[in-house]
Amino acid sequence: MFYSKIKAVGAYVPEYTVTNDDLSKIVDTNDEWISSRSGIRRRHFSKGENTSDLAAKAAEVILKKAGVKAEDVELIVVASVSPDYATPSVSCLVQSKIGAVNAVAFDIGAACSGFVFGLSTADKFIKSGVYKNALVIGSEVLSKYLDFEDRGTCVLFGDGAGGAFLERSEEGGILSEDMGSDGARGLSLTSGFRNVVNPYCEGERFIHSYIEMDGREIFDFATRTVPKSVEALIEKAGISVEDIDIVVPHQANARIVQIVARKLKIPMEKFYLNMEEYGNTSSASIPIALNEMDNKGLIKKGDTVLITGFGAGLTWGSMLIKF
């Protein structure tokens, strides 16, 4: 029986930052409203780099930190809800950009849970002996899906990419996971809808590109579901909350994290938050946070880290990782 272990984490975010004050010049909002309700103060927006460009740059950082050559990568999984194209996949574009000529590459669509779902998928390939390693990346250019006339959503999201290199190991690594989906509630957070129009099915073209969110619904979902998922995970792993050294939640909203922390009776000091700087970058938010912590020396070898993603689908996924 094999396990998978994270050998390196890395990230890349576009350089250009937009503050809440900057946004208040183009949409009816203000810094006080945004920061008090979400914890977000700035976000990075792409000035032209697309999702695969961010992902490829993150991949190069990850491989450099891991000391691994691109041609030795066996699997590339990219999680994204803002791909350059419907096809080819972001992962195939990344494969080409970094020269990972021997890798199998495919994408996963699980929104803000995408990085956790991607790690879980790669873990199964490694555990079963199919592949020895995998590059798992979350990458988003959400700015191209933002309606800058909707003050309820455009202030919340940002662009960026991050990921991890997983390798077969004698010991875990990825210790346990809890994932779930509730498609029945999926329409409370949507983007990129296109109806069917063709020569045999005529009608009006109806495209809903932009992110549309029932904020109250998603807020309630997150504060109810995440604590349950973490409790289920802890139970499966046979540990107690005190054994968790660090919690890295999806960086959607600081108030949600505070409610989750209170429900789980885990002190806020154990939670790492950086939505202040990046906003909500969906699938990229957890690996960007992991990379930042790694660069600051905040994750030590042997630490037990809990990551938890939750969002569109609706989907959620929590995972315990020993570094």
Q: Which is nearer to ligand 4VN, 95 or 280 (CB)?
A: 280
Q: Using CB under 6 A, which of 218, 237, 306, 321 touches ligand 4VN?
A: 218
- Residue 146 lies near ligand 4VN (rule: CB under 6 A): no
For ligand 4VN, what does the binding mask look like between residues 25 and 64, x meaning CB under 6 A?
------------xx--------------------------
Rounded to whole angstroms, the Cα distance separating 122 from 116 reads 10
Question: Which of 294, 317, 117, 246 has the alpha carbon at shortest distance from 107?
Answer: 117
Strand partners, 159: 141
Is there binding between residue 110 and ligand 4VN (CB under 6 A)?
no
From CA 238, how far away is CA 234, in angstroms rounded?
Answer: 6
Take residue 121 and report the two structure tokens written for it.
Answer: 């998928």
Q: Is 89 in the site for ligand 4VN (CB under 6 A)?
A: no
HSE-up (13 A, CA, CB side) for residue 260: 30
Least distance CB 310 / ligand 4VN (angstroms): 6
| 139 is a contact residue toward ligand 4VN (CB under 6 A) | no
Out of 20, 44, 50, 112, which one is annotated catalytic? Answer: 112
The answer to whether the beta carbons of residues 309 and 252 sit under 8 Å apart is no
Q: Please report whether residue 308 would count as binding ligand 4VN according to CB under 6 A.
A: no
Total interface residues for ligand 4VN by CB under 6 A: 17
- Residues 197 to 216 in contact with ligand 4VN, rule: CB under 6 A: 215
Which of 92, 133, 154, 250 is an active site residue?
Answer: 250
CB of 111 to ligand 4VN, least distance (A): 6
User: CB of residue 163 vs ligand 4VN: minimum separation in angstroms?
Assistant: 18
Q: Does the annotation count 250 as an active-site position?
A: yes
Residue number with CB closer to ligand 4VN (51 or 253): 253
Q: For ligand 4VN, which residue of 116, 156, 260, 320 counts as binding (CB under 6 A)? A: 156
User: Among all residues, whose Cβ is closest to ligand 4VN?
Assistant: 215
The single residue listed with the structure tokens 């590059």 is: 135
Decide: is 230 part of the binding site for ligand 4VN (CB under 6 A).
no
Q: Could you confirm whether 280 is annotated as catalytic?
A: yes
Binding piece for ligand 4VN, criterion CB under 6 A, among 70-78, 143-151, 192-200, 218-226 = 218-226
Pattern of binders to ligand 4VN over 251-270, x per CB under 6 A?
-xx--x--------------
Out of 114, 138, 227, 311, the only residue in the binding site for ligand 4VN (CB under 6 A) is 311
Q: Which residues are the active-site residues?
A: 112, 250, 280
Chain positions contacting ligand 4VN, by CB under 6 A: 37-38, 112, 156, 189, 215, 218-219, 222, 252-253, 256, 280, 282, 310-312
